[in-house]
Structure 1
Amino acid sequence: MADKWNSGTRSVPLSRGRADVAIDQGLRSYMLRVYNLMAIGLAITGVAAYGLFSMATTSDPSLAVASIHGVGLTQLGVTVFTSPLRWVLMFAPLALVMFLSFRVDRMSTQTAQTTFWAYAALVGFSLSTIFLVYTQESIVQVFFVTAASFGALSLFGYTTKRDLSAMGSFLIMGLFGLIIASLVNIFLASSALSFAISAIGVLLFAGLTAWDTQRIKELYWEGDDTLVAGRKAIMGALTLYLDFINLFMFLLRFLGTSRN
Protein backbone atom coordinates (compact mmCIF):
# COMPACT_ATOMS: atom_id res chain seq x y z
CA MET A 1 0.00 0.00 0.00
CA ALA A 2 2.84 2.38 0.87
CA ASP A 3 4.48 1.85 -2.54
CA LYS A 4 1.22 2.48 -4.37
CA TRP A 5 0.50 5.63 -2.34
CA ASN A 6 3.99 7.01 -3.00
CA SER A 7 3.84 6.36 -6.73
CA GLY A 8 0.40 7.92 -6.89
CA THR A 9 1.46 11.09 -5.12
CA ARG A 10 4.45 11.46 -7.43
CA SER A 11 2.28 11.12 -10.54
CA VAL A 12 0.09 14.13 -9.68
CA PRO A 13 2.78 16.84 -9.81
CA LEU A 14 4.34 15.10 -12.80
CA SER A 15 1.04 15.29 -14.71
CA ARG A 16 0.55 18.90 -13.73
CA GLY A 17 4.10 19.67 -14.75
CA ARG A 18 3.54 18.19 -18.18
CA ALA A 19 0.30 20.16 -18.54
CA ASP A 20 2.03 23.39 -17.52
CA VAL A 21 4.80 22.78 -20.03
CA ALA A 22 2.24 22.09 -22.77
CA ILE A 23 0.35 25.29 -21.96
CA ASP A 24 3.58 27.28 -21.82
CA GLN A 25 4.72 25.95 -25.19
CA GLY A 26 1.30 26.58 -26.69
CA LEU A 27 1.25 30.12 -25.33
CA ARG A 28 4.70 30.85 -26.72
CA SER A 29 3.66 29.56 -30.14
CA TYR A 30 0.47 31.61 -30.01
CA MET A 31 2.26 34.84 -29.02
CA LEU A 32 4.96 34.24 -31.63
CA ARG A 33 2.24 33.94 -34.25
CA VAL A 34 0.71 37.22 -33.05
CA TYR A 35 4.05 39.03 -33.27
CA ASN A 36 4.85 37.54 -36.68
CA LEU A 37 1.49 38.63 -38.08
CA MET A 38 1.99 42.11 -36.65
CA ALA A 39 5.50 42.32 -38.11
CA ILE A 40 4.26 41.28 -41.56
CA GLY A 41 1.52 43.90 -41.30
CA LEU A 42 4.10 46.58 -40.47
CA ALA A 43 6.29 45.47 -43.37
CA ILE A 44 3.34 45.73 -45.77
CA THR A 45 2.55 49.20 -44.43
CA GLY A 46 6.14 50.36 -44.86
CA VAL A 47 6.41 49.03 -48.41
CA ALA A 48 3.04 50.51 -49.39
CA ALA A 49 3.87 53.92 -47.88
CA TYR A 50 7.28 54.26 -49.48
CA GLY A 51 6.16 52.66 -52.74
CA LEU A 52 3.33 55.15 -53.23
CA PHE A 53 5.56 58.05 -52.23
CA SER A 54 8.20 56.97 -54.75
CA MET A 55 5.69 56.73 -57.59
CA ALA A 56 3.99 59.99 -56.64
CA THR A 57 7.16 62.12 -56.45
CA THR A 58 10.13 62.91 -58.64
CA SER A 59 13.56 64.46 -58.11
CA ASP A 60 13.60 65.72 -61.70
CA PRO A 61 12.14 69.26 -61.79
CA SER A 62 11.27 68.88 -65.48
CA LEU A 63 8.93 66.01 -64.65
CA ALA A 64 7.28 67.66 -61.64
CA VAL A 65 3.70 68.80 -62.16
CA ALA A 66 3.54 70.52 -58.76
CA SER A 67 5.40 70.49 -55.44
CA ILE A 68 4.68 70.17 -51.72
CA HIS A 69 7.28 71.17 -49.13
CA GLY A 70 9.83 71.36 -51.91
CA VAL A 71 9.10 67.80 -53.10
CA GLY A 72 8.20 67.48 -56.80
CA LEU A 73 4.93 65.68 -57.53
CA THR A 74 4.09 63.58 -60.55
CA GLN A 75 0.56 63.53 -61.92
CA LEU A 76 -0.12 60.58 -59.63
CA GLY A 77 1.17 62.62 -56.68
CA VAL A 78 -1.15 65.50 -57.51
CA THR A 79 -4.08 63.09 -57.71
CA VAL A 80 -3.21 61.28 -54.48
CA PHE A 81 -2.03 64.15 -52.30
CA THR A 82 -4.06 67.17 -53.46
CA SER A 83 -7.33 65.84 -54.90
CA PRO A 84 -10.37 64.56 -52.97
CA LEU A 85 -8.83 61.08 -53.32
CA ARG A 86 -6.69 61.90 -50.29
CA TRP A 87 -9.82 61.74 -48.13
CA VAL A 88 -10.60 58.29 -49.49
CA LEU A 89 -7.09 57.14 -48.56
CA MET A 90 -7.54 58.66 -45.12
CA PHE A 91 -10.87 57.06 -44.24
CA ALA A 92 -10.67 53.76 -46.17
CA PRO A 93 -8.48 52.09 -43.50
CA LEU A 94 -10.99 53.07 -40.80
CA ALA A 95 -13.84 51.49 -42.73
CA LEU A 96 -11.90 48.28 -43.35
CA VAL A 97 -10.70 47.88 -39.76
CA MET A 98 -14.28 48.31 -38.51
CA PHE A 99 -15.41 45.69 -41.03
CA LEU A 100 -12.74 43.27 -39.81
CA SER A 101 -13.52 43.90 -36.14
CA PHE A 102 -17.26 43.28 -36.53
CA ARG A 103 -17.08 40.41 -39.02
CA VAL A 104 -14.03 38.45 -37.89
CA ASP A 105 -16.17 35.89 -36.02
CA ARG A 106 -17.77 34.91 -39.34
CA MET A 107 -14.58 34.80 -41.37
CA SER A 108 -12.22 31.97 -42.10
CA THR A 109 -8.68 32.45 -40.85
CA GLN A 110 -7.43 33.01 -44.39
CA THR A 111 -10.07 35.65 -45.13
CA ALA A 112 -9.40 37.49 -41.87
CA GLN A 113 -5.67 37.40 -42.53
CA THR A 114 -6.10 38.71 -46.09
CA THR A 115 -8.32 41.50 -44.78
CA PHE A 116 -5.63 42.41 -42.26
CA TRP A 117 -3.02 42.55 -45.05
CA ALA A 118 -5.33 44.77 -47.13
CA TYR A 119 -5.86 47.04 -44.14
CA ALA A 120 -2.11 47.29 -43.55
CA ALA A 121 -1.59 48.28 -47.18
CA LEU A 122 -4.29 50.97 -46.98
CA VAL A 123 -2.70 52.36 -43.83
CA GLY A 124 0.60 52.48 -45.72
CA PHE A 125 -0.97 54.45 -48.55
CA SER A 126 -2.47 56.93 -46.10
CA LEU A 127 0.86 57.28 -44.25
CA SER A 128 2.81 57.99 -47.43
CA THR A 129 2.29 61.71 -46.75
CA ILE A 130 4.77 61.60 -43.83
CA PHE A 131 7.57 61.45 -46.42
CA LEU A 132 6.39 64.86 -47.64
CA VAL A 133 6.62 66.34 -44.15
CA TYR A 134 9.63 64.65 -42.53
CA THR A 135 13.05 63.66 -43.80
CA GLN A 136 13.52 59.98 -44.59
CA GLU A 137 16.45 59.74 -42.16
CA SER A 138 14.36 60.96 -39.24
CA ILE A 139 11.48 58.63 -40.17
CA VAL A 140 13.84 55.65 -40.08
CA GLN A 141 15.35 56.78 -36.78
CA VAL A 142 11.94 57.24 -35.15
CA PHE A 143 10.87 53.83 -36.45
CA PHE A 144 13.75 52.13 -34.64
CA VAL A 145 13.10 54.17 -31.49
CA THR A 146 9.48 53.05 -31.66
CA ALA A 147 10.46 49.43 -32.25
CA ALA A 148 12.78 49.43 -29.22
CA SER A 149 10.19 51.13 -27.01
CA PHE A 150 7.39 48.87 -28.21
CA GLY A 151 9.50 45.76 -27.62
CA ALA A 152 10.32 46.77 -24.04
CA LEU A 153 6.71 47.72 -23.24
CA SER A 154 5.27 44.57 -24.78
CA LEU A 155 7.80 42.41 -22.92
CA PHE A 156 6.75 44.09 -19.69
CA GLY A 157 3.11 43.38 -20.43
CA TYR A 158 3.91 39.75 -21.21
CA THR A 159 6.05 39.03 -18.16
CA THR A 160 4.55 41.17 -15.39
CA LYS A 161 2.52 39.44 -12.68
CA ARG A 162 0.65 42.67 -11.98
CA ASP A 163 -2.93 42.89 -13.20
CA LEU A 164 -3.07 45.80 -15.66
CA SER A 165 -6.85 45.72 -16.22
CA ALA A 166 -7.48 48.77 -14.03
CA MET A 167 -4.86 50.71 -15.95
CA GLY A 168 -6.43 49.54 -19.20
CA SER A 169 -9.83 51.02 -18.29
CA PHE A 170 -8.17 54.35 -17.52
CA LEU A 171 -6.23 54.26 -20.80
CA ILE A 172 -9.36 53.59 -22.86
CA MET A 173 -11.07 56.61 -21.30
CA GLY A 174 -7.97 58.65 -21.99
CA LEU A 175 -7.99 57.48 -25.60
CA PHE A 176 -11.52 58.75 -26.13
CA GLY A 177 -10.48 62.07 -24.60
CA LEU A 178 -7.49 62.20 -26.94
CA ILE A 179 -9.69 61.62 -29.99
CA ILE A 180 -12.06 64.41 -28.95
CA ALA A 181 -9.16 66.79 -28.30
CA SER A 182 -7.67 65.95 -31.71
CA LEU A 183 -10.97 66.70 -33.44
CA VAL A 184 -11.32 70.01 -31.58
CA ASN A 185 -7.77 71.00 -32.50
CA ILE A 186 -8.59 70.58 -36.20
CA PHE A 187 -10.61 73.79 -35.84
CA LEU A 188 -8.46 75.52 -33.21
CA ALA A 189 -5.10 74.72 -34.81
CA SER A 190 -3.43 75.36 -31.44
CA SER A 191 0.28 74.49 -31.31
CA ALA A 192 0.14 74.20 -27.51
CA LEU A 193 -2.80 71.80 -27.66
CA SER A 194 -1.09 69.87 -30.45
CA PHE A 195 2.01 69.43 -28.26
CA ALA A 196 -0.13 68.27 -25.33
CA ILE A 197 -2.00 65.80 -27.55
CA SER A 198 1.28 64.37 -28.82
CA ALA A 199 2.71 64.00 -25.32
CA ILE A 200 -0.44 62.37 -23.97
CA GLY A 201 -0.63 60.17 -27.07
CA VAL A 202 2.85 58.77 -26.47
CA LEU A 203 2.00 57.97 -22.84
CA LEU A 204 -1.37 56.46 -23.71
CA PHE A 205 -0.08 54.12 -26.40
CA ALA A 206 2.93 53.17 -24.30
CA GLY A 207 0.50 52.01 -21.62
CA LEU A 208 -1.85 50.40 -24.12
CA THR A 209 1.01 48.37 -25.58
CA ALA A 210 1.70 46.76 -22.20
CA TRP A 211 -1.97 46.29 -21.35
CA ASP A 212 -2.95 44.89 -24.74
CA THR A 213 -0.06 42.42 -24.63
CA GLN A 214 -1.21 41.12 -21.27
CA ARG A 215 -4.82 40.95 -22.48
CA ILE A 216 -3.84 39.05 -25.64
CA LYS A 217 -1.83 36.64 -23.52
CA GLU A 218 -4.77 36.04 -21.20
CA LEU A 219 -7.10 35.35 -24.14
CA TYR A 220 -5.07 32.28 -25.00
CA TRP A 221 -6.70 28.97 -24.15
CA GLU A 222 -5.14 25.66 -25.06
CA GLY A 223 -8.55 24.20 -25.83
CA ASP A 224 -9.21 26.57 -28.74
CA ASP A 225 -9.62 24.89 -32.10
CA THR A 226 -7.52 25.98 -35.07
CA LEU A 227 -10.11 28.44 -36.40
CA VAL A 228 -10.68 30.23 -33.09
CA ALA A 229 -6.97 30.35 -32.29
CA GLY A 230 -6.29 31.78 -35.74
CA ARG A 231 -8.89 34.51 -35.32
CA LYS A 232 -7.55 35.40 -31.89
CA ALA A 233 -4.01 35.65 -33.24
CA ILE A 234 -5.08 37.92 -36.09
CA MET A 235 -7.08 40.25 -33.84
CA GLY A 236 -4.21 40.28 -31.35
CA ALA A 237 -1.81 41.19 -34.14
CA LEU A 238 -4.16 43.94 -35.32
CA THR A 239 -4.36 45.38 -31.80
CA LEU A 240 -0.59 45.50 -31.35
CA TYR A 241 -0.17 46.79 -34.90
CA LEU A 242 -2.42 49.74 -34.09
CA ASP A 243 -0.52 50.40 -30.87
CA PHE A 244 2.77 50.43 -32.79
CA ILE A 245 1.51 52.69 -35.59
CA ASN A 246 0.02 55.23 -33.19
CA LEU A 247 3.07 55.23 -30.95
CA PHE A 248 5.24 55.78 -34.03
CA MET A 249 3.13 58.68 -35.28
CA PHE A 250 3.11 60.48 -31.94
CA LEU A 251 6.85 59.98 -31.48
CA LEU A 252 7.40 61.26 -35.01
CA ARG A 253 5.81 64.57 -34.01
CA PHE A 254 8.46 64.93 -31.29
CA LEU A 255 11.53 63.43 -32.88
CA GLY A 256 10.92 63.81 -36.62
CA THR A 257 12.92 66.38 -38.58
CA SER A 258 10.74 68.53 -40.81
CA ARG A 259 11.70 69.10 -44.44
CA ASN A 260 11.16 72.82 -43.94
Structure 2
Amino acid sequence: MDNFSPNRRNVVDITDLNKFLTKMYGLMTLAVLLSALTAWLVMTVFAQQFTAFMVNNRWGMWLIILLPIILTFGINFNATRSPGLCLFLLILTAIVYGITFAFIAGAYAGTDIATAFVSSAGVFLTMAIIGTFSHRDFTRLGSYASAALIGLIIAMLVNFFVQSPMINYLLSIVAVIIFTALTAWDAQRMKNIYIECNGQVSSNGLAVLGALQLYLDFINLFISFLDIFGSSNDR
Protein backbone atom coordinates (compact mmCIF):
# COMPACT_ATOMS: atom_id res chain seq x y z
CA MET A 1 0.00 0.00 0.00
CA ASP A 2 3.03 2.29 0.27
CA ASN A 3 2.99 2.64 -3.53
CA PHE A 4 0.01 4.96 -3.28
CA SER A 5 0.85 8.66 -3.19
CA PRO A 6 -1.22 10.76 -0.75
CA ASN A 7 -0.76 13.77 -3.02
CA ARG A 8 -2.51 12.23 -6.04
CA ARG A 9 -6.29 12.55 -6.32
CA ASN A 10 -8.73 10.99 -8.75
CA VAL A 11 -12.37 11.83 -9.32
CA VAL A 12 -14.50 9.34 -7.39
CA ASP A 13 -18.27 9.13 -7.20
CA ILE A 14 -19.31 10.27 -3.73
CA THR A 15 -21.88 7.48 -3.53
CA ASP A 16 -19.23 4.82 -4.16
CA LEU A 17 -16.94 6.45 -1.60
CA ASN A 18 -19.69 6.43 1.02
CA LYS A 19 -20.39 2.76 0.28
CA PHE A 20 -16.70 1.98 0.76
CA LEU A 21 -16.52 3.86 4.06
CA THR A 22 -19.73 2.21 5.28
CA LYS A 23 -18.36 -1.21 4.41
CA MET A 24 -14.99 -0.52 6.06
CA TYR A 25 -16.45 0.77 9.32
CA GLY A 26 -19.09 -1.94 9.27
CA LEU A 27 -16.43 -4.65 9.07
CA MET A 28 -14.42 -2.94 11.79
CA THR A 29 -17.51 -2.88 14.04
CA LEU A 30 -18.18 -6.54 13.25
CA ALA A 31 -14.63 -7.41 14.31
CA VAL A 32 -15.03 -5.57 17.62
CA LEU A 33 -18.35 -7.31 18.32
CA LEU A 34 -16.85 -10.70 17.48
CA SER A 35 -13.98 -10.06 19.90
CA ALA A 36 -16.40 -9.05 22.64
CA LEU A 37 -18.61 -12.10 22.04
CA THR A 38 -15.62 -14.44 22.00
CA ALA A 39 -14.26 -12.98 25.24
CA TRP A 40 -17.65 -13.41 26.91
CA LEU A 41 -17.99 -17.02 25.73
CA VAL A 42 -14.48 -17.90 26.91
CA MET A 43 -15.09 -16.35 30.34
CA THR A 44 -18.52 -17.92 30.85
CA VAL A 45 -19.73 -20.79 28.68
CA PHE A 46 -16.37 -22.39 27.88
CA ALA A 47 -14.35 -21.26 30.91
CA GLN A 48 -13.57 -24.74 32.26
CA GLN A 49 -12.80 -26.28 28.88
CA PHE A 50 -10.55 -23.42 27.87
CA THR A 51 -8.68 -23.42 31.19
CA ALA A 52 -8.08 -27.15 30.88
CA PHE A 53 -6.82 -26.74 27.32
CA MET A 54 -4.36 -24.01 28.29
CA VAL A 55 -3.08 -26.00 31.29
CA ASN A 56 -2.53 -29.15 29.23
CA ASN A 57 -1.10 -27.35 26.19
CA ARG A 58 1.62 -24.87 27.12
CA TRP A 59 2.06 -23.92 23.48
CA GLY A 60 -1.45 -22.49 23.48
CA MET A 61 -0.30 -19.16 24.91
CA TRP A 62 2.35 -18.76 22.21
CA LEU A 63 -0.29 -19.56 19.61
CA ILE A 64 -2.55 -16.82 20.93
CA ILE A 65 0.33 -14.34 20.90
CA LEU A 66 1.81 -15.16 17.49
CA LEU A 67 -1.30 -16.04 15.46
CA PRO A 68 -2.69 -12.47 15.25
CA ILE A 69 0.67 -11.25 13.93
CA ILE A 70 0.66 -13.91 11.22
CA LEU A 71 -2.97 -13.19 10.33
CA THR A 72 -2.27 -9.45 10.10
CA PHE A 73 0.56 -10.04 7.64
CA GLY A 74 -1.72 -12.35 5.68
CA ILE A 75 -4.41 -9.70 5.35
CA ASN A 76 -1.94 -7.00 4.32
CA PHE A 77 -0.38 -9.27 1.70
CA ASN A 78 -3.64 -10.56 0.19
CA ALA A 79 -5.93 -7.53 0.57
CA THR A 80 -6.24 -6.80 -3.15
CA ARG A 81 -5.60 -10.38 -4.30
CA SER A 82 -8.18 -12.35 -2.35
CA PRO A 83 -10.78 -10.22 -0.52
CA GLY A 84 -12.79 -13.26 0.55
CA LEU A 85 -9.77 -14.88 2.18
CA CYS A 86 -8.89 -11.61 3.90
CA LEU A 87 -12.40 -11.31 5.32
CA PHE A 88 -12.04 -14.79 6.79
CA LEU A 89 -8.64 -13.86 8.23
CA LEU A 90 -10.13 -10.69 9.75
CA ILE A 91 -12.85 -12.72 11.46
CA LEU A 92 -10.26 -15.19 12.73
CA THR A 93 -8.09 -12.33 13.98
CA ALA A 94 -11.03 -10.86 15.91
CA ILE A 95 -11.77 -14.24 17.50
CA VAL A 96 -8.16 -14.75 18.59
CA TYR A 97 -8.02 -11.26 20.08
CA GLY A 98 -11.28 -12.04 21.85
CA ILE A 99 -9.57 -14.98 23.55
CA THR A 100 -6.76 -12.64 24.57
CA PHE A 101 -9.28 -10.16 25.99
CA ALA A 102 -10.74 -12.96 28.11
CA PHE A 103 -7.36 -13.27 29.85
CA ILE A 104 -7.01 -9.52 30.23
CA ALA A 105 -10.56 -8.93 31.48
CA GLY A 106 -10.06 -11.35 34.35
CA ALA A 107 -7.56 -8.96 35.93
CA TYR A 108 -9.86 -5.91 35.93
CA ALA A 109 -13.11 -4.87 37.54
CA GLY A 110 -16.23 -4.66 35.42
CA THR A 111 -16.44 -0.90 35.95
CA ASP A 112 -12.89 -0.46 34.64
CA ILE A 113 -13.71 -2.48 31.53
CA ALA A 114 -16.90 -0.50 30.87
CA THR A 115 -15.17 2.85 31.41
CA ALA A 116 -12.27 1.86 29.17
CA PHE A 117 -14.63 0.75 26.41
CA VAL A 118 -16.68 3.95 26.51
CA SER A 119 -13.52 6.07 26.56
CA SER A 120 -11.87 4.22 23.69
CA ALA A 121 -15.10 4.29 21.67
CA GLY A 122 -15.45 8.03 22.20
CA VAL A 123 -11.86 8.79 21.22
CA PHE A 124 -11.99 6.44 18.24
CA LEU A 125 -15.26 7.84 16.90
CA THR A 126 -14.05 11.42 17.25
CA MET A 127 -10.70 10.83 15.55
CA ALA A 128 -12.22 8.66 12.80
CA ILE A 129 -14.65 11.45 11.93
CA ILE A 130 -11.84 14.01 11.95
CA GLY A 131 -9.63 11.79 9.80
CA THR A 132 -12.40 11.07 7.32
CA PHE A 133 -13.74 14.58 6.82
CA SER A 134 -10.85 16.91 7.65
CA HIS A 135 -9.06 18.63 4.76
CA ARG A 136 -5.84 18.75 6.76
CA ASP A 137 -3.15 16.28 5.70
CA PHE A 138 -2.32 13.91 8.57
CA THR A 139 0.56 12.17 6.77
CA ARG A 140 3.25 13.82 8.89
CA LEU A 141 1.27 13.16 12.06
CA GLY A 142 0.96 9.51 11.08
CA SER A 143 4.70 9.26 10.40
CA TYR A 144 5.53 10.73 13.81
CA ALA A 145 3.02 8.45 15.53
CA SER A 146 4.41 5.38 13.74
CA ALA A 147 7.94 6.27 14.82
CA ALA A 148 6.74 6.87 18.37
CA LEU A 149 5.01 3.47 18.31
CA ILE A 150 8.34 1.76 17.65
CA GLY A 151 9.84 3.56 20.64
CA LEU A 152 6.82 2.59 22.74
CA ILE A 153 7.21 -1.09 21.87
CA ILE A 154 10.88 -0.99 22.86
CA ALA A 155 10.03 0.75 26.14
CA MET A 156 7.32 -1.83 26.87
CA LEU A 157 9.77 -4.67 26.26
CA VAL A 158 12.22 -3.08 28.69
CA ASN A 159 9.50 -2.62 31.30
CA PHE A 160 8.53 -6.27 30.85
CA PHE A 161 11.76 -7.08 32.69
CA VAL A 162 11.74 -4.04 34.99
CA GLN A 163 8.10 -4.58 36.03
CA SER A 164 7.52 -0.97 37.12
CA PRO A 165 3.83 -0.11 37.65
CA MET A 166 4.57 3.61 37.31
CA ILE A 167 6.38 3.15 33.99
CA ASN A 168 3.53 0.93 32.76
CA TYR A 169 1.03 3.64 33.72
CA LEU A 170 2.97 6.32 31.86
CA LEU A 171 3.45 4.10 28.81
CA SER A 172 -0.30 3.50 28.69
CA ILE A 173 -0.90 7.25 28.55
CA VAL A 174 1.64 7.56 25.75
CA ALA A 175 -0.06 4.67 23.93
CA VAL A 176 -3.42 6.48 24.07
CA ILE A 177 -1.84 9.56 22.50
CA ILE A 178 -0.13 7.51 19.78
CA PHE A 179 -3.19 5.48 18.80
CA THR A 180 -5.39 8.56 18.92
CA ALA A 181 -3.16 10.07 16.24
CA LEU A 182 -2.98 6.80 14.29
CA THR A 183 -6.77 6.52 14.21
CA ALA A 184 -7.12 9.86 12.45
CA TRP A 185 -4.27 9.03 10.08
CA ASP A 186 -5.53 5.54 9.20
CA ALA A 187 -9.06 6.84 8.60
CA GLN A 188 -7.76 9.50 6.23
CA ARG A 189 -5.19 7.20 4.64
CA MET A 190 -7.69 4.49 3.71
CA LYS A 191 -10.06 7.07 2.26
CA ASN A 192 -7.23 8.51 0.16
CA ILE A 193 -6.08 5.07 -0.99
CA TYR A 194 -9.59 4.29 -2.20
CA ILE A 195 -9.72 7.59 -4.08
CA GLU A 196 -6.31 6.97 -5.65
CA CYS A 197 -7.20 3.44 -6.74
CA ASN A 198 -10.41 4.66 -8.42
CA GLY A 199 -11.73 1.15 -9.03
CA GLN A 200 -8.40 -0.31 -10.17
CA VAL A 201 -8.27 -2.73 -7.23
CA SER A 202 -10.92 -4.55 -5.22
CA SER A 203 -12.81 -2.15 -2.98
CA ASN A 204 -13.80 -5.13 -0.83
CA GLY A 205 -10.14 -5.92 -0.22
CA LEU A 206 -9.39 -2.32 0.68
CA ALA A 207 -12.39 -2.27 3.03
CA VAL A 208 -11.07 -5.34 4.86
CA LEU A 209 -7.59 -3.84 5.07
CA GLY A 210 -8.96 -0.57 6.41
CA ALA A 211 -11.18 -2.41 8.88
CA LEU A 212 -8.14 -4.28 10.19
CA GLN A 213 -6.10 -1.10 10.66
CA LEU A 214 -8.93 0.69 12.46
CA TYR A 215 -9.75 -2.41 14.52
CA LEU A 216 -6.15 -2.57 15.74
CA ASP A 217 -6.26 1.14 16.59
CA PHE A 218 -9.43 0.64 18.60
CA ILE A 219 -8.33 -2.40 20.59
CA ASN A 220 -5.00 -0.78 21.44
CA LEU A 221 -6.87 2.29 22.66
CA PHE A 222 -9.10 0.01 24.72
CA ILE A 223 -6.20 -1.91 26.27
CA SER A 224 -4.34 1.32 27.04
CA PHE A 225 -7.36 2.92 28.70
CA LEU A 226 -7.93 -0.30 30.63
CA ASP A 227 -4.37 -0.15 31.98
CA ILE A 228 -4.84 3.50 32.93
CA PHE A 229 -8.12 3.03 34.79
CA GLY A 230 -6.97 -0.23 36.36
CA SER A 231 -3.72 1.32 37.55
CA SER A 232 -5.52 4.38 38.90
CA ASN A 233 -7.77 2.21 41.05
CA ASP A 234 -4.76 0.30 42.40
CA ARG A 235 -2.94 3.46 43.46
TM-score interval for Structure 1 and Structure 2 normalised by the shorter chain = 0.7 to 0.9
Corresponding residue SS for 1:128: helix
Residue 220 of structure 1 and its aligned partner are, at CA, apart by 1.5
In structure 2, stretches of 5+ residues that fail to align are 1-9
Aligned partners of 1:160, 1:76: CA distance in 2, in Å? Answer: 45
Residues 1:91 and 2:66 aligned together? yes
Choose which of 27, 30, 35 in structure 2 pairs with 1:37. 27
Aligned partners of 2:102, 2:212: CA distance in 1, in Å? Answer: 20
In structure 1, stretches of 5+ residues that fail to align are 1-18, 58-73
Distance 1:82 1:188, change over 3 A: farther
Q: Is the 8 A contact 1:185 1:193 kept in 2?
A: yes
State how many pairs are aligned.
Answer: 222
Residue 83 of structure 1 and its aligned partner are, at CA, apart by 5.4
Choose which of 110, 119, 125 in structure 2 pairs with 1:151. 125
Q: Is the 8 A contact 1:49 1:126 kept in 2?
A: yes
Aligned partners of 2:161, 2:45: CA distance in 1, in Å? Answer: 32
Residue 56 of structure 1 and its aligned partner are, at CA, apart by 4.8
Q: Which residue of 1 aligns with 2:148?
A: 174
Residue 170 of structure 1 and its aligned partner are, at CA, apart by 0.6
Question: TM-score, normalised on structure 2?
Answer: 0.86
Q: Which residue of 2 aligns with 1:209?
A: 183
Question: TM-score, normalised on structure 1?
Answer: 0.78
Q: Which residue of 2 aligns with 1:13?
A: none
Distance 1:28 1:81, change over 3 A: farther
Superposed CA RMSD in Å reads 2.3
Letter in 2 for 1:185: N
Letter in 2 for 1:24: I
Residue 137 of structure 1 and its aligned partner are, at CA, apart by 3.3
Aligned partners of 1:240, 1:81: CA distance in 2, in Å? Answer: 33
Identity of aligned residues (%): 28
Moved over 4 A (4+): none
Corresponding residue SS for 1:220: helix
Aligned partners of 1:82, 1:211: CA distance in 2, in Å? Answer: 43
Per-residue Cα deviation, 1:170-208 (whole angstroms, up to 9, x for no partner): 111001001111111111112222122111100000010
From the CA coordinates, give the structure whose radius of gyration is larger: 1
Q: Which residue of 1 aligns with 2:90?
A: 116
